Amino acid sequence: MGMTVTEKILAFHAGLKEVEPGQLINARIDLALANDITAPLAIKEFRRLGVTKVFDPQRVVLVPDHFTPNKDIKSAEQAKLVREFAREQGVIYYEIGRMGIEHCLLPEEGLVGPGDLIVGADSHTCTYGALGAFATGVGSTDLACAMATGECWFKVPETILLRYYGKLRPWVGGKDLILYTIGDLGVDGALYKALEFTGEAIAELSMDGRFTMANMAVEAGAKNGIFPVDEKTLEYIRGRVKRPYQVYTSDADARYSEIREYDASRIEPQVAFPHLPENTRNISEVGDIKIDQVVIGSCTNGRMEDLRVAAKILRGKKVHPEVRLIIIPGTQKIYAQALEEGLISVFIEAGAAVSTPTCGPCLGGHMGILARGERAVATTNRNFVGRMGHPESEVYLAGPAVAAASAIKGRIAAPEEVL
C-alpha cells in the first residue's frame, strides 16, 4: 500500500521505510519556531531540562510578533526575555523593524522548504504546508524539548484528500476556498488529520492563496495542511531556500480516510459569522450587517496579493466615516514593496491606518481592540468569542476583497457593490 505525502515526510524524518496512520513515532525536526507569547514558557522549560545549548542554532527561530511593538510593560518584559535568550544561544532572531508576522516571514526568508518537518509553538505553523512541508503547532513544553534535542514525537495522522476543480469566480481566492471548506467539514471535521489540497483550481492558485489555505487548515481541527509541489512552488523558493530540500508526492494507491470534491466555479466570496470559522455564508446571503471596524492583515491575509486586492477596491474611494480600517502588511519587505507600488498611499488617502507588521488585533492583543457590541470584518483566521476584544463584540471573517468593500460601505458588502 502506498503512502501520502504527509506519511512520506514523517517516515523519512523518523528513519523508517514506511509509517501508517495512528503509529507513534519520534522524528527529527528541520526547524523549531516560537514567538513572544510562546517562547518565554519554552525557554523556562528548556532551562529546567538542564541543557545549556539548543541542538542547532540555525534551526531554531524566534520571532516576537504578537504583542509587538510592545503594548505594555508585561509584553516588553516577555520580548526582552526572548531577545536575551536569542543572543545567548545565537539562534535565528528577527526584531521589530527588521521582521514580520512569523508565518509570513519564514517562507519569505527561505527558512522553510519542501519536505521539511517543522514544529512551532503557534497553531498556525501549518502555513508552511503550502510549500509541501509537514508543519504543525505544538505546545511550549514540546517545543522546549525540540529545541534541546532536535526531535519531537508524533502520531501519524490520517489524511483527507480535498480536490477542487473548475475556474475561480472573480474576487474569490484562497481565503474563500478554505472558509467554504471549513464550513463543509466543520471546526472538528478534520481533527488530528492531514488535509491534502489538490485539483485544477489549486494548481491555478497563487502561492499567497496557498499559504492562506494551509494557514487555516487548523481551523478544521487538522494536524497539518499540505499542497503538492509544482512549478509555482519551485519558482517561489528559487533563490530563497538555501538548505537542501526534498519533494515528496503521494502515491497513486495512498490511503485516505476520506475524499471530498468541490466545484470551485460555484463558490462565492465567503463570510464566516460569529463565533466559529465554520459559520460560513455566501456573500449573497449575508444581508444588511453594519460594521465598526475592518482589519486587513495577519498571517492569513497580510501578503502582497492581499494588499493589491484591497488597493484595487479602495483606490479613489473613501472609508465609511463610521468605520475604522486597519491595514497591516505581513512583513517589513511586504510593507516596503507596498510602499514602492503606491499601495500605502492608496490606503492612507482612503482613510485607513497602516501599521508596522504585527499580529496585534488578530488575537485581541492591541492595534484594534473591539468594545462591547462592536462588529468587525477581518481577514484574520479566528472569530471566537472575545477573540478581538470584548466578549460581546463580533468578528466576521472574509477575504481582502470583501473586507475592503465593507470598509467603504459601512456594512458587509460584495466587491461589485463599490466598483
pLDDT digits (tens, 9 = 90+) for 231-258: 999 999 999 998 999 999 999 999 999 9
pLDDT at 54 over 90: yes
State which H helix or E strand residue 196 sits in.
strand 193-198
Q: pLDDT per residue over 148-198, tens digit each? A: 999 999 999 999 999 999 999 999 999 999 999 999 999 999 999 999 999
What is the per-residue pLDDT for 363?
A: 87
Which pLDDT score, from 0 to 100, does residue 96 have?
87
Share of the chain above pLDDT 70, in %: 100
List the grid coordinates of 241: 531556500
Residue 278 per-residue DSSP state: T
Helix axes 332-340, 343-350, angle to 10 degrees: 80
How far apart are the two ends of the chain, measured CA to CA in Å?
A: 52
For the chain, count helices (H), then strands (E).
Answer: 14, 18
Q: Which helix (H) or strand (E) holds 349?
A: helix 343-350
Whole-number pLDDT of residue 300: 96
Q: Where in the chain is the domain with CATH 3.30.499.10?
A: 5-243+255-262, 270-417
User: How far is the C-alpha of 419 from the C-alpha of 401, rounded, in Å?
Assistant: 11
Tell me the average pLDDT across 396-415.
98
Range list of H helices, 35-139 = 39-48, 73-89, 102-108
Report, in this order, helix, strand and coil percent for the chain, each rounded to 5. Answer: 40, 20, 40
Whole-number average pLDDT of the chain: 96
pLDDT of residue 313: 98
Q: What is the DSSP letter of 371?
A: P
Cβ partners under 8 Å of residue 148, min gap 6 = 46, 49, 51, 54, 55
What the block records as the C-alpha cell of 260 is: 471530498
Q: Count Cβ atoms below 10 Å from residue 20 Cβ, excluding itself.
A: 12
Name 276's Cβ contacts closer than 8 Å, sequence gap at least 6.
Answer: 187, 383, 384
Average pLDDT over residues 225-229: 97
Q: Among candidates 84, 86, 97, which has minimal Cα distance to 33? A: 86
In this predicted model, what pLDDT tens digit does every residue of 339-363 receive, in sequence order? Answer: 999 999 999 999 999 999 999 888 8
- Residue 69 cell numbers, joined: 511593538
β-pairing, 60-63 with 31-35? Answer: parallel
C-alpha span between 72 and 77 (Å, rounded): 9
Beta partners for residue 296, in sequence order = 327
Least Cα distance to 129 among 148, 113, 140 occurs for 113
Are the beta carbons of 294 and 407 closer than 8 angstroms?
yes
Task: Write down the pLDDT at residue 412.
Answer: 98
Does the structure show a pLDDT above 90 at 1?
no
- The pLDDT score that the predictor gives to residue 385 is 86
Q: Which three cell numbers stand for residue 182?
A: 471549513
Greatest CA separation found in the chain? 61
Q: What is the mean pLDDT of residues 14-18?
A: 96
* Ordered DSSP codes for 204-245: HS-HHHHHHHHHGGGGGT-SEEE----HHHHHHHTTT--S--
Given a contact cutoff of 8 angstroms between Cβ atoms, the answer to whether 12 and 132 are in contact is: no
Q: Are 326 and 293 within 8 A, CB to CB?
A: yes
Of all residues in the chain, what percent carry a pLDDT higher than 90?
94
Q: Does domain 270-417 fall into CATH 3.90.1150.10?
A: no
Q: Does the pLDDT of residue 53 top 90, yes or no?
A: yes
Alpha-carbon Rg for the chain, nearest whole angstrom, is 20
Kindly report, residue by residue over 304-342, the tens digit of the pLDDT.
999 999 999 999 999 999 999 999 999 999 999 999 999
Cα 235 to Cα 385: distance, rounded to the nearest angstrom: 40
How far apart, in whole angstroms, are the C-alpha atoms of residue 97 and residue 83?
14
8 Å CB contact between 403 and 302: no
Q: What is the pLDDT of residues 102-132, one digit of tens each?
A: 999 999 999 999 999 999 999 999 999 999 9
Helical (H) or strand (E) element with 335: helix 332-340
Nearest residue to 115 (alpha-carbon basis) of 175, 20, 31: 31
CATH of 5-243+255-262, one of 1.10.260.40, 3.30.470.160, 3.40.50.300, 3.30.499.10: 3.30.499.10
pTM: predicted TM-score of the whole model, two decimal places: 0.94
